[in-house]
Structure 1
């Protein structure tokens, strides 16, 4: 396993090293690590077959606009008042 790890450090795109290290990890009972290595190998294979496709398929994270302090303060007061009504 150490040899495959060294091979991956030398060449991060060495698909067979990921696959064999994943197989060894699976046999040793390290299922999460094995899954991670096998998924990485599949991702590299997919990227080599279709360069740039994996990067374009991800959608950008939505950026929420921060609400003004006064609006947040008023919302908090409203929620507290509703909570007080439920307790009565």
Structure 2
């Protein structure tokens, strides 16, 4: 015999499938290239913006705020400025 709680639970679900995203928030945080590409696709198509995958990508972007950005290329050391020549002539103070 089926309990009342089980019956109500089965009727409440009604066989509807809950959409699940292929990628979760930690995946996007660990894979910035996939994250950027997903956000690009989501921002270019309004229908995709409502999908769980796009929502996870947006949330991952929100969590990334305040974290330092990873360098895309090797950063060069700033060039040292040329030495300032010493004044010549009467400004020298001799």
The answer, yes or no, to whether TM exceeds 0.5 is no
TM, length-normalised to structure 1: 0.29
The structure that has the greater radius of gyration is: 2
Instruction: Give me the TM-score of the superposition, normalised by structure 2.
Output: 0.28
